[in-house]
Structure 1
Amino acid sequence: METKPTDIQTWLHLSRKQKGLTGKEVLRQLEERYNFRISKSAFYRYEDPDTSLKSIPLLLIVALCDIYDRDFEEPFKIVRKQISID
């Protein structure tokens, strides 16, 4: 991007638009790739029944992917190691 965004959500919105993805497409890719469901009542959060980790902001996962221009898998693993929400 040519201008620095004012917040991470604005930056993510512009970044994913440049890649030609809608928000729903990004979330669907995450659901399919990691086999978890997105809670409709909790915006940009996920629930993983196989671990003690209750939720992670999906926005952060997607932002890490864009920052490092990588596949979802590596940033997802990094986030899971570093963030734990009781």
Structure 2
Amino acid sequence: NVEDYQYFPAFAKAEPRLKRGFEILDADHHTIHEGLERNAEAANAFIRTLQESEDRQRVAADAYADENSRLIAMLTRHLADEEDLIIPLILD
């Protein structure tokens, strides 16, 4: 919330040409939240299979690993995008 309601508006005001970039970063936060929820659901589904067959555990573990990989990729991209927009403004 601090980024969405404090930092991003202040940075967009400081450099209006970057406003669209900050809107994208704000939208990313909602997507990241959804990704975190999917990741938690996949982890919980895996945990529930620990008392089941190895095949079910493997399927659930693979689903969790896939979801985790998507989340890490999303977070890495988002942080790189934030850095590309914000660091030059801070240095300026």
Calculate the TM-score normalised by the size of structure 1: 0.26
Report the structure, 1 or 2, having the larger helix content: 2
Higher relative contact order (CA 8 A, sep 6+): 2
Report the structure, 1 or 2, having the larger strand content: 1
Larger Rg, first or second structure (1 or 2): 2
